[in-house]
Amino acid sequence: MNSILYPKKDNALKKLFNTEKAIIGVIHCLPTPGSPQFEGESMDKSIEYAITEAQKYSSGGVDGVIVENAWDIPFSKPENIGIETVAAMSVLADRVKQNIDIPVGVNCLANGVLQSLAAAKASNTNFIRANQWVNAYIANEGFIEGAASKATRYRNHIGGKDIIIMADVHVKHGSHSIVGDRSLFEQARDAEWFAADILIATGNRTGDSTSLEEIKKIKEATTLPVIIGSGLNFNNANELLQISDGAIVGTSLKKDSVWWSSVEEDKVKKLMEITYSLRKK
């Protein structure tokens, strides 16, 4: 790719994880205060759950974990995410970080990029996921704009320039017809141009496999690392990880392969065995 749009950056994925084919486990947190399914209980149960999931991922050999408020469904638009959610995510990320020795990230749904940055800064964690970094799309929550311009300024404002931004190119759970006249190649270049550090290729919804073609097209467009954002499993890992630089994975490593179940350490180890074999090639 001709990289005249943006000077080539150091590889943020290797810098963060110090390995090839980094695997990041998703902690689908229990409902946080203020969300529809929260029942007013102490945060102790949620903290214990998040720590336990993190420890199973870590013991299984993953390279990092990301804390996500997955049970806050239905999700709010970014401007409606409350301060109580940021507080809860900050505490959850901090407690997870205190109990494992691998990098920790934050994803505050839906597309709460500034909120994720605030939680990452407060918990001294390493990275965030931005589901819509540039352009715009129609999601379950409604019209969602790219967060890059506000987020990069906010990251600088809070002294968080060391917090790495992992940005989806085609976010899950939404329609991209509003930018349908822009190719996937151009959208990937947009994300790099607007200062993302790592790009994410993903399927249509949680657990859906990311297509090989999508990964290839994004990699052709960017000098940044490209990781898989959904649907990695034992059946497709060998194929998809050969061309991608890593993956964020959760559903396939859970009991019964559903996102709301608990992590099974044996599944984590099995996936990491596949990953280790690819790193040796």
In the chain, the N- to C-terminal Cα span, in Å, equals: 25
In a domain, 7, yes or no: no
Per-residue model confidence (pLDDT) at position 211: 83
In a domain, 247, yes or no: yes
Q: Could you read off the pLDDT of 227-281 as tens digits, one per residue? A: 999 889 999 999 999 999 999 999 999 999 999 999 999 999 999 999 999 997 6
Domain count, the chain: 1
In a domain, 137, yes or no: yes
In a domain, 107, yes or no: yes
The CA distances from residue 245 to 58, 133, 182, 206, 215, in Å, are 19, 20, 24, 20, 10
In a domain, 74, yes or no: yes
Enclosing domain of residue 175: 12-279
CATH of the domain at 71: 3.20.20.70
In a domain, 6, yes or no: no
In a domain, 1, yes or no: no
In a domain, 161, yes or no: yes
Tell me how many helices (H) and strands (E) the chain has.
9, 11
Question: What is the average per-residue pLDDT within 64-73?
Answer: 98
Predicted TM-score of the model (pTM): 0.93
Cα–Cα nearest to 145, from 111, 195, 172: 111
Tokens representing residue 77 in the block: 């638009």
In terms of pLDDT, which residue wins out, 234 or 204? Answer: 234
The neighbour count for residue 118, using CB atoms within 10 Å, is 23
Per-residue model confidence (pLDDT) at position 174: 62
Q: Could you read off the pLDDT of 145-202 as tens digits, one per residue? A: 999 999 999 999 999 999 999 999 976 556 666 766 778 888 899 999 999 999 999 8
